[in-house]
């Protein structure tokens, strides 16, 4: 499970050979969510409101990089780290 980014106790990661739609995983404490890259909606699980707000802010800033990672992980298994939210 490649860790793509980490900020404010939140870990963002993606898996190899995942199913569509393009998405990423976010973990904060014991909470986990799967978030669609295209529309930034939670498609599975959930996070506390403040953590989700931070994740969505970060994802909105890095949507192109997330999609590039999605494609790369599915085709070559490689990925790039993405800058954290500051």
82 burial (CB, 10 Å; 0-12 / 13-18 / 19+) is buried
CB 59 within 8 A of CB 37: yes
pLDDT at 4: 97
Q: What is the pLDDT of residues 11-63, one digit of tens each?
A: 999 988 788 999 999 999 999 999 999 999 999 999 999 999 999 999 999 99
Q: Domain containing 37: what range?
A: 3-75
**Residue whose structure tokens are 């980490």:** 6
Is 80 contained in some domain? no
Paired tokens of 73: 């992980």
Based on the structure, what is the number of domains in the chain? 1
pLDDT at 17: 79
Q: What's the CA gap between 79 and 83, in Å, rounded?
A: 13
Global pTM reads 0.94
pLDDT at 57: 98
Is 53 contained in some domain? yes
Tell how many helices (H) and how many strands (E) occur in the chain.
Answer: 2, 5
pLDDT at 16: 84
**Would you say residue 82 has pLDDT above 80?**
yes
pLDDT at 18: 84
pLDDT at 2: 87
Is 19 contained in some domain? yes
């Amino acid at each position: 499970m490649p860790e793509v980014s980490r900020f404010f106790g939140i870990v963002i990661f993606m898996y190899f050979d995942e199913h569509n739609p393009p998405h990423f995983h976010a973990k904060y404490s014991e909470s986990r969510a799967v978030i669609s890259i295209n529309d930034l909606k939670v498609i599975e699980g959930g996070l506390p409101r403040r953590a989700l707000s931070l994740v969505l802010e970060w994802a909105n800033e890095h949507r192109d990089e997330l999609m590039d990672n999605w494609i790369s992980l599915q085709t070559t298994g490689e990925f790039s780290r993405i800058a954290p939210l500051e």
